[in-house]
């Protein structure tokens, strides 16, 4: 496999073509951004930590029968993935109220959500990723109804697997965002799963161990990500 030209550079990852039209290389950079790119910093080791974190989680999900784009780690900060035709939407599940939900609905952070909520957002930086609903997805053709239904089912399945995994490590999976795409007509989990795209709290102290540490200027961002990783069995030195 040969890495070719850059296809796309996002806020924290870059994507490269390979000599195989169906495979891409994801490069996890040290860049960390929040508030639609208004706050950006370089955090030492972040690319490596998120790359290995994502590889571990994607492997766990695949073992649980959830199709993912992840193929293998290539280096400390690079992974080989399948090239998906991405749906321009974000699927968010919340087990506990935090973040935009508390602002939007005026509910107390920490309120348990039973059953968990499922929300959709349009991936559109210029519009600030607005919240949308299933009829918008269908009316604007962002995904076929059956593909959206599958993405929703898989998003809930991920919740069952990861809530249990993080609970074993003494943490609460508060919420998370997933992105899906199509590979040979099948709905497959793409993008990444790392503490950049979820909220994780220590189950006892409720200490934040995710990107809210960066958003809220709490410090110790990468130390917290590594702590999360170690608690679920990731060896970042491997």
- Report the nearest approach of ligand C5P to the CB of residue 171 (Å): 13
Binding positions for ligand C5P, 114-173, rule CB under 6 A: 129
HSE-CB of 7 using CA atoms within 13 angstroms: 15
Does residue 80 bind ligand C5P (CB under 6 A)? Answer: no
Does residue 91 bind ligand C5P (CB under 6 A)? Answer: no
190 vs 197, which CB is nearer to ligand C5P? 197
E strands along 76-229, which residues? 78-82, 85-86, 89-96, 112-122, 131-132, 171-178, 180-183, 186-189, 198-202
- Rounded to whole angstroms, the Cα distance separating 94 from 12 reads 23
- Member of 47, 169, 190, 197 binding ligand C5P (CB under 6 A): 197
* Preceding amide of 78 cis, omega within 30: no
Does residue 175 bind ligand C5P (CB under 6 A)? Answer: yes
Using CA atoms, how far residue 210 sits from 33, 148, 174, 201, 202, in Å, is 13, 27, 10, 8, 10
Does residue 192 bind ligand C5P (CB under 6 A)? Answer: no
Does residue 100 bind ligand C5P (CB under 6 A)? Answer: yes
- Member of 74, 211, 213, 225 binding ligand C5P (CB under 6 A): 211
Q: Which residues bind ligand C5P (CB under 6 A)?
A: 90, 92, 99-101, 129, 175-177, 197-199, 211
């Amino acid at each position: 496999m040969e890495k070719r030209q850059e296809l796309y550079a996002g806020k924290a990852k870059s994507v490269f073509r390979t000599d195989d039209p169906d495979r891409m290389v994801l490069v996890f950079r040290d860049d960390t951004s929040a508030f639609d790119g208004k706050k950006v910093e370089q955090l030492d080791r972040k690319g490596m930590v998120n790359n290995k974190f994502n590889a571990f989680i994607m492997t766990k999900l695949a073992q649980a029968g959830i199709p993912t784009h992840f193929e293998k780690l290539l280096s400390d900060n690079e992974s080989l993935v399948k090239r998906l035709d991405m749906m321009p939407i974000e699927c968010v599940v919340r087990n506990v109220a935090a973040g935009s939900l508390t602002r939007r609905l005026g509910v107390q952070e920490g309120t348990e959500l039973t059953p968990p909520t499922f929300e959709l957002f349009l991936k559109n930086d210029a519009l600030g990723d607005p919240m949308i609903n299933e009829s918008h997805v269908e009316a604007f053709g962002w995904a076929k109804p059956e593909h959206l239904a599958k993405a929703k089912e898989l998003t809930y399945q991920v919740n069952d697997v990861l809530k249990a995994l993080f609970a074993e490590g003494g943490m609460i999976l508060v919420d998370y965002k997933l992105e899906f795409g199509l590979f040979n007509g099948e709905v497959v989990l793409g993008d990444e799963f790392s503490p950049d795209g979820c909220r994780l709290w220590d189950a006892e102290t409720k200490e934040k161990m995710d990107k809210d540490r960066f958003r809220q200027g709490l410090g110790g961002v990468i130390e917290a990500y590594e702590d999360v990783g170690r608690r679920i069995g990731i060896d970042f030195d491997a």
